[in-house]
Amino acid sequence: MNWLIVTPEKKIELDAINAQFTDRCCNPEITADGTLLVGSDLIGCDYWEAYQDFLKSLTTYDKDPVWPVIPEE
């Protein structure tokens, strides 16, 4: 999967779009280094139609994401 970077400024924009809906919410995932990412597979998906301009404005993440390790209890 390819990923798109959600900067702090874009996160504000994303939060505003999310606030318009009660049936959907695009939540970015955070990498181990603190980068917020959303999957590029949302582009072109009818369910995420209201998010298309936002998603297309994001920069592609050009690395393999490293996700934080959740400690086992």
| pLDDT score of 72 | 82
| pLDDT score of 21 | 96
- One digit per residue, the tens of pLDDT, for the chain of length 73 reads 899 999 999 999 999 999 999 999 999 999 999 999 999 999 999 999 999 999 999 999 999 999 998 878 7
- Cα separation, 34 vs 15, in Å, equals 18
The reported pTM is 0.90
Residues 6+ positions from 25 with CB-CB distance below 8 Å = 18
| pLDDT score of 26 | 97
φ/ψ of 29, rounded to 5, equals: -100, 145
